[in-house]
Amino acid sequence: MSKEAELHSNSRPRCQAHLDALRQEHREVAGTLLSTMDGFEVAASVGAPISPKRMAAMTSSLLALAEAVTRESAVGQCRDLVIESSEGLVLMMDVPSTTHRSVLTVLCTEAAVLGRVRWAARNARDAIAQALDAQPVELSA
């Protein structure tokens, strides 16, 4: 486990509550995941057969590629990545915490309306950032 993942683990219960609420309050949300930027799971609310550990690793890789593309394209900093597929959407959003770099991944059914899901995910992302920032950062000697 990375040092970043260890710091996140102290915030896991609060973050888990926000992930669970997003999934429960929005039927079109099939799963949620909070992971570190280096690909480690912090908290998840997903159903089988989805592996949160594998999703966290893939999310890290995809965001690194998206950041490289936006940098090369000179279109600013990458904030969100949306994947539209034949059976739903995958949203990946940078969590704006000042103390813990992380990403929120939201898995949606084909019934999802992108604007509505993005609005709900952004609200959850901001609440998660506040939960992460409320956790004191321990500095090693």
pLDDT of residue 140: 47
pLDDT of residue 139: 46
Under CATH, domain 3-134 is a member of which superfamily? Answer: Dynein light chain 2a, cytoplasmic (3.30.450.30)
pLDDT beneath 70, residues of the chain: 1-9, 135-141
114: which residues sit within 8 A by CB, 6+ positions away?
82, 84, 89
Longest CA pairwise span in the chain (Å):
50
pLDDT of residue 3: 53
How do residues 13-46 score in pLDDT, each as one tens digit? 889 999 999 999 999 999 999 999 999 999 999 9
Contact 20, 13 (CB under 8 A): no
**Tokens standing for residue 73:** 């394209």
